[in-house]
């Protein structure tokens, strides 16, 4: 029967870190399990559910860069920001099954004033199941695109161009 390491000094914090994955060589890695809810009657993961795994990867990538959805939306009315996906290109190369442990990989591929292009993979061991290119932007309450804050761009630029496992 599995246990968490009882000797860990701060179990709660360790938990939260584990939940958010980690960055290595500019690539964010997030482990995730496949549950019943993710599958469909053909026996494998339903194609649109892979996008939820990808979103978790992007959200935790941002979280580790100290960018939080709640804070963005809680800013004063005229500064509130929301991330939006503008375009996705997704290759569904192979299928994941119930009980599988997957890793979602996320890296910055390109940065412009108002757009971030991310490259993402969902892998199981050495196999790439899903490869995606995601074009995201931030908009304000009125739906207008806004420039990425400079400190984000600096943080992202540091990792941009990193090679994702291919």
Q: Which residues are catalytic?
A: 40
Residue 58: phi, psi to the nearest 5? Answer: -65, -40
Closest approach, Cβ 80 to its own copies, in A, equals 10
Instruction: Please give the structure tokens belonging to residue 36.
Output: 């019943």
User: Is residue 3 a contact point for its own copies (CB under 8 A)?
Assistant: yes
Quote the CA–CA distance of 59 and 66 in Å, as a whole number: 10
Q: Is 37 left (phi over 0), alpha (psi -120 to 50) or beta?
A: alpha
Letter string b/e over residues 5-19, b meaning 16 or more CB atoms within 10 A of that residue's CB: eeeeeeeeeeeeeee
User: Is residue 128 a contact point for its own copies (CB under 8 A)?
Assistant: no
Quote the CA–CA distance of 41 and 8 in Å, as a whole number: 41
User: Is residue 160 a contact point for its own copies (CB under 8 A)?
Assistant: no
User: Is residue 19 a contact point for its own copies (CB under 8 A)?
Assistant: yes
In the list 9, 78, 79, 86, the residue contacting its own copies (rule: CB under 8 A) is: 86
Beta strands, E only, 78-148:
81-92, 101-111, 115-124, 127-140, 145-146
Nearer to its own copies, 67 or 164 (CB): 67
Size of the site for its own copies (CB under 8 A): 59
Q: With CB under 8 A as the contact rule, which of the stretches 85-93, 106-114, 116-124, 146-154 interacts with its own copies?
A: 85-93
User: Is residue 2 a contact point for its own copies (CB under 8 A)?
Assistant: yes
Distances (CA, A) of 7 to 10, 13, 80, 90: 9, 13, 42, 42
In the list 9, 36, 78, 142, the residue contacting its own copies (rule: CB under 8 A) is: 36
Sites of contact with its own copies (CB under 8 A) = 1-5, 11, 15-23, 31-33, 35-37, 39-44, 46-49, 51-52, 55-56, 59-60, 63-64, 68-70, 73, 82, 84-92, 95, 97-99, 101, 143
């Amino acid at each position: 029967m599995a246990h968490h390491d009882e000797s860990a000094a701060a179990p709660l914090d360790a938990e939260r870190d584990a939940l958010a994955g980690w960055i290595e060589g500019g690539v964010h890695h997030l482990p995730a399990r496949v549950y019943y809810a993710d599958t469909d009657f053909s026996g494998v993961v339903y194609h649109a559910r892979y996008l939820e795994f990808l979103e978790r990867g992007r959200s935790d990538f941002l979280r580790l860069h100290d960018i939080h959805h709640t804070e963005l939306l809680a800013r004063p009315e005229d500064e509130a920001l929301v991330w939006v996906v503008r375009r996705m290109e997704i290759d569904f190369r192979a299928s994941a099954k119930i009980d599988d442990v997957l890793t979602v990989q996320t890296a910055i591929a390109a940065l412009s004033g108002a757009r971030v292009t991310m490259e993402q993979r969902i892998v199981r061991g050495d196999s790439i199941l899903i490869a995606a290119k995601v074009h995201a932007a931030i908009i304000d309450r009125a739906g207008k695109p806004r420039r990425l804050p400079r400190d984000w761009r600096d943080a992202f630029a540091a990792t941009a161009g990193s090679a994702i496992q291919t």
